[in-house]
Amino acid sequence: MPNSNTSAAAKILSLNNIEVVYDHVSLAIKGVSIEVPEGGMVALLGANGAGKSTTLKSISGLLVAERGEVRRGELQFLGRSISLLSPQQRVKLGIAHVLEGRRVFEHLTPDENLVAASAVRSRHDMNRNKERVYGYFPRLHERRGVASGYLSGGEQQMLAIGRALMTQPKLLMLDEPSLGLAPFLVAEIFQIIGRINREEGLSVLLVEQNAVAALEIVSHGYLIESGRIVMHDTAEALKRNPDIREFYLGGAKAKSFHDIKHYSRRKRWLT
């Protein structure tokens, strides 16, 4: 089932059988394997608590902030193992993680948010990067002097993405950028993400509960359930898949709880 074309193309990121535990005991993800092709856009879909955010944190190294650790598996970025690197080192290599819930620096202005995240030393380069971000998100430029805590949800999401771009990433990981936003804003933000991907060749790993929106812009998708990858295919195939249609795209007829349980069990069998 996994598309052979992906593995043939150059990979920017590959997770092989990653297992994460929190507090030494609770197993959050159980052997997740994911690949992101260079310059590609991949979605990681799944319900609440399925392990999507944990997967991203294992890649960015932010598990340490929550007493979590990767206990097993291989994390490779641009062909080198990154398991032992600190979050800063991973950012330097080119991994940017836009956190769930946006998490902008609320008491700083949008402009200061961008400055704080800037990876480059020279003021000239920093200003060029800022202009680039403002180019993608003109609304941030209009609001650049306001404390970011007062921005709207959509503006904060734009700022969080713009802030990540200031680190000059090669891989942009987005954790639920659509969360709590009006549909037209989701469309706008996804469209800009697509543009950044096309214009700069930035690889994107998109984590979403909003499968409808996500599958519109990615080429491949993974489906994660209870800490396991249960499906992997092209976006087109996933959109056509009857199970996905039913449970993640809000498809057709309602089913009983028994059927859902049956479905989950079957999925576990398949992996």
Nearer to other proteins, 158 or 231 (CB): 158
92 binds other proteins (CB under 8 A): yes
80, 107, 253, 258: which one binds other proteins (CB under 8 A):
107
Helix (H, G, I), strand (E, B) or coil at 223: strand
* Sole window of 93-101, 134-142, 239-247, 249-257 interacting with other proteins (rule: CB under 8 A): 93-101
Nearer to other proteins, 71 or 103 (CB): 103
What does the per-residue mask of binding to other proteins show for 11-50, with x meaning CB under 8 A? ----------------------------------------
Closest contact distance (angstroms) between CB of 148 and other proteins is 8
Closest contact distance (angstroms) between CB of 237 and other proteins is 32
Helix (H, G, I), strand (E, B) or coil at 15: strand
Residues 28, 51: contact at Cβ < 8 Å?
Answer: yes
Residues 6+ apart with CB under 8 A from 150: none
Helix (H, G, I), strand (E, B) or coil at 241: coil
- Site size for other proteins (CB under 8 A): 35
122 binds other proteins (CB under 8 A): no
- For 75-128, give the DSSP string: EEETTEE-TT--HHHHHHHTEEEE-TT----TTS-HHHHHHHH---SSHHHHHH
9, 69, 73, 105: which one binds other proteins (CB under 8 A):
105
Q: What is the rounded CA–CA span in Å between residue 206 and residue 212? A: 13
Site for other proteins in 149-188 (CB under 8 A): 149-150, 152, 163-164, 166-167
270 binds other proteins (CB under 8 A): no
52, 97, 130, 228: which one binds other proteins (CB under 8 A):
97
Closest contact distance (angstroms) between CB of 97 and other proteins is 5
10, 27, 71, 106: which one binds other proteins (CB under 8 A):
106
State both tokens at 257.
């709880």
Residues 109, 146: contact at Cβ < 8 Å?
Answer: yes
Closest contact distance (angstroms) between CB of 94 and other proteins is 10
Q: Please report which residue ranges of the chain form alpha helices under DSSP H.
A: 4-8, 52-60, 87-93, 110-117, 123-136, 138-142, 153-165, 183-200, 211-217, 235-240, 242-247, 257-270
Closest contact distance (angstroms) between CB of 146 and other proteins is 11
Query: Distances in Å between the alpha carbon of 104 and those of 48, 50, 116, 130, 139?
Result: 22, 25, 11, 16, 16
118 binds other proteins (CB under 8 A): yes
Q: Which residues pair with 32 in a beta bridge?
A: 18
Q: Please count the other Cβ atoms lying within 10 Å of the Cβ belonging to residue 9.
A: 14
6, 54, 58, 60: which one binds other proteins (CB under 8 A):
60
The residues of the shown chain that bind other proteins, judged by CB under 8 A, are 60-62, 65-67, 87-88, 91-92, 96-99, 103-108, 112-113, 115-119, 147, 149-150, 152, 163-164, 166-167
